[in-house]
Structure 1
Amino acid sequence: MNAANDDPADDIVDVLSDYLDRGVEPPRELIEQSPENHLALAALLRVREAARSLIDVDEGGLSTGDEGWIDSILTNLHREVKAGRAIPLTHPSPRANLTLTEGAVRGLVRAAGDSVDGVLVGRCVLDGDVTVAGSPVVVRVEASVFWGEPIPAAAERLRVAIAGALIQHTELAIEAVDVTITDVHLRRTDDEGQQS
């Protein structure tokens, strides 16, 4: 990596992963340094928790070449923890200028999605001009499900959870939440190894 061209947000997932791989809690100052760092840590912890109970059925992963599904999720996290576009928020005072970052919204989508049992969010994209209040926005989410989960029901639970979180916490004009299930994984049992 060429440090001269690097955005610090490009590294945070790797830095936090290094701490977690060593079994060390990342320094509090690092997490409190920015909302993006906090989002990255929360997402990494959710992915690691889910990974403990999954076995990859498709050794090819999430249609990303030779990467496994975890690598694909981590690649998306690198992109998603960046602040991105500023989303305007209303305020009664004309002097106030409040915004919400696109990264915070993607973190909200991931958290809502990962709270749905049997589902793990892989990618989230906000389509539409989020910088203009009232513009229609389509949220596109890719996810994987556990083997045995009825896919239409899991996708609907995910869609409802994400839509509810966005309505509750944002002022976005959500036109649709599109969910695509891209992978199926088996739950790991106690007598199975790291991967079948």
Structure 2
Amino acid sequence: MTQTPPEVLDCGRTVDELSDYLTAGRIPADAHIESCPDCLNALDALERVGRLSRDLMVDDAERLPPPPQDWLNGILSAVRSELRAGRSFPIHHDDPRVSISVTEGAVRALIRETGDAVPGVYIGRTQIIGNAEIPGEPVEVDVTASIAWGLPVPETTARVRDLVFTALNQHTELKVVGVNITVEDLHGYASDKESS
């Protein structure tokens, strides 16, 4: 079976096409992109990476040495690898004739959006470990993150962990028994708003 390269989404659009579309301000509007869940997830991921890049450039470059050259490439690689829909996780419905599921890609997007909402945090890779296709089976979630220099790591990761756990309980039927956060990078400096 031939696999699609990671730069090409399941719908056939490429990450480069979506990046160009985003750079053009999403004008003219592309009906397929604006209605395709895979494309919308990819656009969201590209926008987050763009915000991170801008935040790092705005940060006073003299305070810290620049991050390693492959740091941003690592984040982009993680985003590219997670743009696929992946597995389907069932959602219970009272009518046995109705089958509802949520894709792994959508759950990863939820995790990323939840973690990125914490000031000074950028989520890298997410992984759902366990047999989530079977209702009630326990799963763990592994998340990597970059945190702004100066933020207290234990408190920040605890906050991300709690928010991710709550979001998954509210929006999925996954039986999450653990959310594991690994801080892989520190970036910039925490602003006063982030550190308070």
- For normalisation by structure 1, the TM-score amounts to 0.82
Q: 1:25: how far off?
A: 1.6
Q: Which moved more, 1:36-45 or 1:96-105?
A: 36-45
Q: Is 1:80 the counterpart of 2:82 in the alignment?
A: yes
The gaps in structure 1 that reach 5 residues or longer are: 61-65, 190-196
Partner of 1:25: 26
- For normalisation by structure 2, the TM-score amounts to 0.82
**Identity across the alignment (%):** 39
Q: How far apart in 2 are the matches of 1:142 and 1:135?
A: 23
Q: How far apart in 1 are the matches of 2:48 and 2:30?
A: 18
Residues 93-121 of structure 1, C-alpha deviation per residue, up to 9 Å, x if partnerless? 01001111000000000000100111100
1:103 alignment partner, one of 102, 105, 110: 105
Q: 1:136 to 1:23 in 2, by over 3 A?
A: same
Say which SS state the counterpart of residue 185 (structure 2) adopts.
strand
Which one-letter code corresponds to 1:181 in the other structure?
V
Q: How far apart in 1 are the matches of 2:110 and 2:34?
A: 18
Partner of 2:54: 52
Partner of 1:118: 120
Which one-letter code corresponds to 1:180 in the other structure?
T
Aligned residue pair count: 180
**Divergent runs of 4+, >4 A:** 4-7, 55-58
Q: 1:187: how far off?
A: 3.9
Q: How far apart in 1 are the matches of 2:14 and 2:70?
A: 20
Q: Which is bigger in relative contact order (C-alpha 8 A, separation at least 6)?
A: 1
Q: Which moved more, 1:117-126 or 1:24-33?
A: 24-33
Q: 1:35: how far off?
A: 0.8
Q: 1:12: how far off?
A: 3.3
The gaps in structure 2 that reach 5 residues or longer are: 58-63, 192-196
Residues 42-72 of structure 1, C-alpha deviation per residue, up to 9 Å, x if partnerless? 1211221122112685633xxxxx622x221
Q: How far apart in 2 are the matches of 1:142 and 1:120?
A: 9
